[in-house]
Amino acid sequence: MYDNDLKPPSFVQGVPRLGSDLSALAKLIAPNHPPRRVIHADNILITLYGFGDASGDGFGSTMLTPSGLWYRYGLWGRDLSRQSLNYREMRNLVDLVALEL
């Protein structure tokens, strides 16, 4: 139950790793612009449109790329049907992109 008369504490005790966490956070937010990284990629994929759904017993996804329309659909196996919805949605996307590579 929430008590409107309850005020937050003025001071709290930090945990031992607080200093290193604050230092890491300061490094992450220090640059005004995201740093550029040179990456060598074997393949570059440009997705113009994609759709996917893996919320039920099955899955389906489409992706329009410069090389054509890719799609996949089916039913989850017993092992993957027990995974979380977030896992199945991500797996659906990763498996579709892997077709293009």
Give the mean model confidence (pLDDT) for residues 56-84: 88
Give pTM, 2 decimals: 0.51
- Return the ∠ at Cα 9 (arms to 7 and 14), rounded to 5°: 150
Q: How much is the pLDDT for 77?
A: 92
Of the candidates 53, 49, 73, the residue with the CA atom closest to the CA atom of residue 63: 49
pLDDT in tens, 43-62: 776 666 678 899 889 999 98
Highest averaged pLDDT of the listed ranges 28-42, 62-76, 78-92: 78-92
Q: How much is the pLDDT for 68?
A: 82
Residue 88: both structure tokens together? 């199945």
